[in-house]
């Protein structure tokens, strides 16, 4: 109660604190910018359209993707409210910084903005928008099988990660659907697979903890599977992402440089994971989370933005 009494009544100040704790705009924005711009670039390369994307395409792609990921965070606040109130009362919603009602209004506004952007750029994007919203709605209800999924962490993870390639499909459609093209050939599938495994890399990487940082009631992968299995699973996700990324790069004639980048990144990741297993310290666990973000950014840039930039210049 003491905490609530000292919370500012200024809604902008409260939401600024909320984003800093739960959805850092700058940090997430950089990752999502790489994600969205590379998705558009990859689509253009598959179509053989070598040119810099238009400002409206970049704007709609980035803004829509950013709001999708914000909606994911907001949905988590609703479905995890009871658990957070019990085990993590320090989080913004349980401690009264923002209310679920306020977050619901924010979620509604983000949907209105997305719909407006889709109608402005190309109404044919709306069905793809509805597809992502539909899957997000199912996720918010835990596919009406919450207890069953909670008892199966791997199934829980991959069913929730499927929304990432759906967001990617929408973001690529901002290029190919607006251009009046059909769905690009099979190469797009590899890029969507990259998105899926990148999501798993991020998810596992942020939930690998040092023993002293584990919290009662908080399901981390180190707590669920043990440190060794958690790190090996993280490395496995990196490996499958690398294979998918190389195959995607092959579709656009950029396989060799991406291959060398992948080998270098995998070596660094193995070293980081090994150091954590030898000494499971807080800073070494954080390094795994940081590496997950760096890996994801470089992965997207290497199979989308950088190849397009190189081909535009050359």
How is the chain split into domains, by residue range? 1-184, 185-314
Q: Which two tokens stand for residue 221?
A: 């992968």
Burial class (CB in 10 A: 0-12, 13-18, 19+), 143: middle
pLDDT at 185: 67
pLDDT at 229: 96
Q: How far apart are the first and last CA of the chain?
A: 63
> Where do we find the tokens 């050939």?
185
Run means of pLDDT, 10 residues per run, the chain, 314 residues: 52 92 93 95 92 95 97 94 89 93 96 98 96 96 90 90 96 94 80 95 94 86 94 97 96 94 97 96 96 94 94 88
CA gyration radius, the chain: 20
C-alpha closest to that of 102 among 6, 10, 15: 15
pLDDT at 188: 92
pTM of the model: 0.91
Burial class (CB in 10 A: 0-12, 13-18, 19+), 138: middle
The C-alpha angle 63, 17, 167, rounded to 5 degrees, equals 25
Phi-psi region of 279 (alpha: psi -120 to 50; beta: other; left: phi over 0): beta
pLDDT at 189: 92
pLDDT at 217: 75
**Is residue 88 within 8 Å of 215, Cβ to Cβ?**
yes
pLDDT at 7: 56
> Where do we find the tokens 């092959």?
250
**Spatial distance between the Cα atoms of 277 and 73, rounded to a whole number of angstroms:** 30
**Spatial distance between the Cα atoms of 77 and 202, rounded to a whole number of angstroms:** 19
pLDDT at 24: 94
pLDDT at 67: 98
CATH of domain 1-184: 1.10.357.140
**Spatial distance between the Cα atoms of 178 and 301, rounded to a whole number of angstroms:** 22
């Amino acid at each position: 109660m003491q905490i609530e009494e000292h919370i500012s009544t200024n809604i902008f100040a409260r939401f600024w604190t909320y984003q800093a704790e739960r959805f850092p705009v700058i940090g997430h924005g950089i990752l999502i910018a790489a994600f969205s711009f590379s998705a558009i670039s990859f689509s253009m390369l598959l179509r053989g359209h070598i040119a810099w994307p238009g400002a409206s395409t970049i704007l709609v792609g980035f803004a829509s993707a950013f709001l999708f990921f914000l909606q994911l965070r907001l949905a988590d606040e609703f479905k995890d409210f009871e658990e957070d109130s019990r085990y993590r009362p320090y989080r913004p919603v349980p401690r009264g910084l923002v209310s679920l009602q306020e977050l619901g209004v924010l979620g509604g506004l983000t949907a209105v903005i997305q719909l407006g952007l889709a109608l402005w750029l190309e109404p044919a994007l709306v069905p793809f928008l509805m597809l992502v919203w539909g899957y997000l709605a199912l996720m918010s209800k835990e596919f009406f099988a919450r207890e069953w999924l909670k008892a199966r962490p791997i199934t829980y993870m991959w069913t929730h990660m499927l929304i990432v390639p759906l967001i990617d499909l929408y973001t690529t459609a901002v290029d190919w659907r607006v251009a009046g093209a059909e769905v690009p050939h099979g190469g797009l599938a590899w890029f969507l697979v990259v998105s899926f495994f990148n999501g798993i890399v991020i998810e596992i990487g942020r939930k690998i903890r040092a023993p002293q940082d584990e919290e009662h009631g908080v399901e981390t992968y180190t707590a669920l599977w043990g440190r060794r299995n958690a790190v090996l699973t993280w490395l496995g996700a990196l490996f499958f992402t690398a294979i998918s990324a190389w195959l995607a790069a092959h579709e656009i004639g950029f396989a060799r440089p991406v291959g060398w980048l992948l080998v270098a990144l995998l070596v660094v990741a193995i070293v980081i994971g090994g150091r954590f297993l030898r000494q499971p310290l807080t800073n070494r666990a954080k390094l795994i989370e940081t590496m997950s973000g760096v890996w994801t950014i470089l992965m997207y840039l290497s199979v989308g933005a950088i190849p397009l930039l190189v081909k535009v210049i050359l």
